[in-house]
Amino acid sequence: MQFSDDDLEAAVAAGAISAETAAGFRVFVDRRRASPAADEESFRLLTGFNDIFVAIAIVMVLSALGSLGGMGSPGYAGVLVALVSWGLAEFFTRKRRMALPSIILLLAFVGGVAAMAVTLAHAFIPKMAGSLQPFLFTGGATALAASGIGGASGSRSPWRRAPSPSARRSSWPS
């Protein structure tokens, strides 16, 4: 049930409430409407144009590091991208609280961990092929499974380091 100012004035005129009570009720309602709800999360993807420049710079730096690391082995690229993403996230997520760069860094970290998992799967599974031959997938399925497992474990690590309010309400156990 909502009360308008006309309803309050009519109640004061009829003597149902005093003018002081009506004024106190108006102040109470104004304060209550101005304060955020207890579980309301203030999320803004862009806090300024600076976020866009930082996101572009992060993509450029991580792309360059990935291509440099990939010259030796794809696994090196994954390791390099994951480590640098984690380091940059310590600053841009924990200190600056920038949402867009944090999302990009999370995706880069998970991609780097998944690339490491694929490289490790291709390196170790052929060596075990003799003993596990009936249980092995084909090469593409093994890479896909390793990528999924690595990506899932990689996405869990940043959440454990700095859980966000929205992550606490998700289905992940704490």
Q: Please indicate, yes or no, whether residues 25 and 77 belong to a single structural domain of this protein.
A: no
The 10s digit of each residue's pLDDT in 6-25 is: 888 888 899 888 989 888 88
Contacts of 83 (CB under 8 A, 6+ apart): 112
The whole-angstrom separation of Cα 26 and Cα 20 is 10
Q: Please indicate, yes or no, whether residues 20 and 53 belong to a single structural domain of this protein.
A: no
Which of 98, 97, 88, 82 shows the shortest CA–CA distance to 155? 82
Between 58 and 124, the higher pLDDT residue:
58
Q: What is the pTM of this model?
A: 0.61
- Find the domain containing 65 and state its range: 49-164
Q: Please indicate, yes or no, whether residues 11 and 74 belong to a single structural domain of this protein.
A: no
Contacts of 35 (CB under 8 A, 6+ apart): none
pLDDT band at 166 (very low <50, low <70, confident <90, very high): very low
